[in-house]
Structure 1
Amino acid sequence: MACTLADSLLLFKGSFQKPLCRRDITAHYSPGIFSLNSDGLIRKGFRRQRSFVTRNKVTFIRAVAVPVQQPAPVEDVEYRKQLAEDYGFRQIGEPLPADVTLKDVISSLPKEVFEIDDVKAWKSVLISITSYALGIFMISKAPWYLLPLAWAWTGTAVTGFFVIGHDCAHKSFSSNKLIEDIVGTLAFMLLIYPYEPWRFKHDKHHAKTNMLLEDTAWQPVAKDEFESSPLLRKAIIYGYGPFRCWMSIAHWLMWHFDLKKFRPSEVNRVKISLACVFSFIAIGWPLIIYKTGIMGWIKFWLMPWLGYHFWMSTFTMVHHTAPHIPFRNTEEWNAAQAQLNGTVHCDYPKWIEILCHDINVHIPHHISPRIPSYNLRAAHKSIEENWGKYLNEASWNWRLMKTIMTVCHVYDKEQNYVAFDELAPEDSRPITFLKESMPDYA
């Protein structure tokens, strides 16, 4: 199971100086790091402990090499089913053929999924405003022991504002581009998120999804960075471990307020967004404090904001993070594989899907960001019909989260990821704690 990935694996890297299993082995070849499951199948990225004897006790026998046309494990249906079970997925897609292009996938979609509907767009605004107002009312009336539920609702509701601004940034909200910029700026202001800086960086995420060193959404930890300093290593372990569901706060601070990170042609628009955000801080925060006090600011603004960042972080890592989804160098990167094969569709409870405007129907959004959020389900249905066997799909579950938070850490070209506790077990008590404390339900 995914909860014991880093504890129970025995890696095979070639055959030299490794223990041999006392049993017949039926092997399927795939480049990388492998292990043996109980059925004798080689599995990439797992180590399962078995009964072994050391090499000096092995009696060598003559073997005859017979060329057999066998599929690589990742192409094997049973192998992918087992991976899906271990990782907490409903389905792990088979590899997309290299000759399939992103244009091929886009051209298979019905034209109506790209159509902007102003009524549906403003309906999403109404849903977000209404649900947010209800959340504020709940916070004002809830006894202290029900406040976490009110904060959870309100934080999810303001995530809907982010999704509306997200559509505006992709020019999929309205046919009027000025209205899109105004709505996007206002939707982000409550979150003190500068709209234009985020838009510029997010466009790069779509252009270079899961491209090593280039994707701006997030990157796996570099090994040399992890080993550069004991203090930095501990900070990284906590950030990518227990605090990972709020790591978008660090991303927000690092990427969106430094003018040096933007091209000269972008700076003026960035300054306008920053001015809007700082205006809200200078005017909105004092008004909240004046009306409700410091504790009111914490209750009515800070806690829902932290709830929003929980979803921002969680959605982002679920959409593109799994042990079998690689980050690739520029030379090896393939757009269709990254967007179709490297993006995850995850079903959440219905109330979250409604308040967040189906942002987790994420594969069609990466196939084309021009698809409005209210058309994502229709687009996904079409993709399932035409490309279904290549899709990574899950329903949110604890095993999925546990896999991401305890395994997907340091970049490795062969394995995709190496867990912190494999590289630095003495510093990885936070990861051990997660393995022991997080549920393993799928």
Structure 2
Amino acid sequence: MACRLADSMFLSKGPFHKPIRSQRIGAHYSSGICNLKWDNLLQKGIKRQQCSRRNRTTFVQAIAIPVAPSPPNSAEYRKQLSESYGFKQIGEPLPDNVTLKDVIDTLPKKVFEIDDVKAWKSVLISATSYAIGLFMISKSPWYLLPLAWAWTGTAVTGFFVIGHDCAHKSFSRNKLVEDIVGTLAFLPLIYPYEPWRFKHDRHHAKTNMLVEDTAWQPIPKEEFDSSPVLRKAIIYGYGPFRPWMSIAHWWIVHFNLNQFRPSEVKRVAISLACVFAFMGIGWPLILYKTGIMGWVKFWLMPWLGYHFWMSTFTMVHHTAPHIPFKSADEWKAAQAQLNGTVHCDYPSWIEILCHDINVHIPHHISPRIPSYNLRAAHKSIQENWGKYLNEATWNWRLMKTIMTVCHVYSKEQNYVPFDELAPADSLPITFLKKVMPDYA
């Protein structure tokens, strides 16, 4: 399970705004986006939270009015589910005959064009914002340090996004420049560039494919039941520690040469040598100048902030109760990349410092789109494929849904929460349900 937790990088549902008639509807999505029972999803969304209401006595005259049930694939049902999960929109299932090429062909050619000025502007933005963050840390009183760390951790995430573009060959027309910039951009994160690139390519090739995707995976039931100790580790890892689980992925996967193909080992070894050289020079300098507390203030805390975004971006973009993981024989690229990827809006300062990595659907349609063209590509996708998109604004209910519901794999329901399978071991999950707000 250590590798499972490591490879998983990257709400109890809130009440609906309107009362929903209780009705059991046996239905399922087409094979496009999900094979699941809408009645299960809807009932779970309703019963997770109970609104507290003041006791009051009201006399009403009951009148029986027949109400026709809404079709399970209707806009009304999707709206109810989106409100429950913290989404703005849950997309319609994508028809089986739509291919990824069909979607790519609707994109303007200009969104694939590399602009050197814009690329290096992103480097300037990240370098400047990171320098400002370090200055803020050096000058802030202790009670303002969390704000300085939040800024600096977000700014250094921008370096990751620049390396991310280099790995996808969307930063420069010169491959050597991309390899150098990508390696340097990852060094402050102590992240080996080439190992990450190889693993991340597989995430794009097999997004939301069971076993094969290298990002967040649902936990197999047999793995969850295999050991009490392992079960508790899984519950903590997919519950309260989930926003930092990319640290486990970073450590276990990227520094192990046995995780890579023989053709990849040489490049992986070079990246590891660069990382260890940076650690061997950079860390002693920080310790010499500022001491152990300076190392914690100037490097460790921003690094933890970066991993918060690394984990959060990955799970938010690919994890939701209605988004299925498919076995290899059922998986379809267009459905996984268009229907199985979530667009999420964050506060503007986060989007700027992180170079629009949150505009994620076009990035999964084609990783060759540079980060500075993602918004134009997303606008085109909205115009041509808008009704199929899953969209959200980052909020408490969305995070609560992921952290308290999206746990163990189920072909029928997509996910079964830990506390339904092992209530006695799931105190971290019940704690999250109590303390995390429900509002979107």
Normalised-by-shorter TM-score class: 0.7 to 0.9
User: For residues 187-232 of structure 1, what are the alpha-carbon distances to aligned partners after superposition, in whole Å with 9 as ceiling and x for unaligned?
Assistant: 0011000000000000000000000000011211111111111111
2:140 to 125, 139, 142: 142
Partner of 1:3: 12
SS of the equivalent of 2:217 reads coil
Q: Distance in 2 between matches of 1:437 and 1:186?
A: 40
Q: One-letter code of the match for 1:94?
A: E
Shift of 1:253: 1.1
Q: One-letter code of the match for 1:376?
A: L
1:356 to 343, 346, 354: 354
Matches within 5 A, 1:117-266: 117-266=115-264
Q: Distance in 1 between matches of 2:258 and 2:365?
A: 30
Q: Is the 2:14–2:397 contact (alpha carbons within 8 Å) kept by the matching residues of 1?
A: no
Say whether residues 1:111 and 2:109 are aligned partners. yes
CA distance 1:291–1:104, shift in 2 (3 Å)? same
Q: Is the 1:33–1:45 contact (alpha carbons within 8 Å) kept by the matching residues of 2?
A: no
CA distance 1:417–1:27, shift in 2 (3 Å)? closer
User: For residues 375-414 of structure 1, what are the alpha-carbon distances to aligned partners after superposition, in whole Å with 9 as ceiling and x for unaligned?
Assistant: 0000000000000000000011100000000000001110
Partner of 2:95: 97
Q: Which protein is bigger by CA-based radius of gyration?
A: 1
Instruction: Please tell me the root mean square deviation across aligned C-alpha atoms, in Å.
Output: 1.8
When the two structures are superposed, what TM-score results if normalisation uses the length of structure 2?
0.88
Q: Is the 1:139–1:300 contact (alpha carbons within 8 Å) kept by the matching residues of 2?
A: yes
Q: Distance in 2 between matches of 1:334 and 1:5?
A: 31
Mark the runs of 5 or more structure 1 residues left unpaired by the alignment.
7-22, 37-41, 50-69
Partner of 1:387: 385
Q: Distance in 2 between matches of 1:47 and 1:117?
A: 48
Q: Distance in 1 between matches of 2:266 and 2:338?
A: 35
Q: Is the 1:101–1:336 contact (alpha carbons within 8 Å) kept by the matching residues of 2?
A: yes
User: For residues 335-379 of structure 1, what are the alpha-carbon distances to aligned partners after superposition, in whole Å with 9 as ceiling and x for unaligned?
Assistant: 000000000000000000000000000000000000000000000
Shift of 1:435: 0.2
CA distance 1:85–1:24, shift in 2 (3 Å)? closer
SS of the equivalent of 2:271 reads helix
Mark the runs of 5 or more structure 2 residues left unpaired by the alignment.
1-10, 16-20, 29-34, 49-68
Matches within 5 A, 1:196-345: 196-345=194-343
Shift of 1:32: 4.1
Matches within 5 A, 1:409-424: 409-424=407-422
When the two structures are superposed, what TM-score results if normalisation uses the length of structure 1?
0.87
SS of the equivalent of 2:12 reads helix
CA distance 1:28–1:127, shift in 2 (3 Å)? same
CA distance 1:121–1:34, shift in 2 (3 Å)? closer
User: For residues 150-196 of structure 1, what are the alpha-carbon distances to aligned partners after superposition, in whole Å with 9 as ceiling and x for unaligned?
Assistant: 00000000000000000000000011110000000000011000000
Q: Distance in 2 between matches of 1:34 and 1:325?
A: 12
Higher relative contact order (CA 8 A, sep 6+): 2
SS of the equivalent of 2:121 reads helix
Q: Is the 1:45–1:415 contact (alpha carbons within 8 Å) kept by the matching residues of 2?
A: no
SS of the equivalent of 1:173 reads coil
Shift of 1:441: 1.1
Question: Once the two structures are aligned, what percentage of the paired residues are identical?
Answer: 79
User: For residues 79-101 of structure 1, what are the alpha-carbon distances to aligned partners after superposition, in whole Å with 9 as ceiling and x for unaligned?
Assistant: 00000000000000000000000
Q: Distance in 1 between matches of 2:38 and 2:117?
A: 53
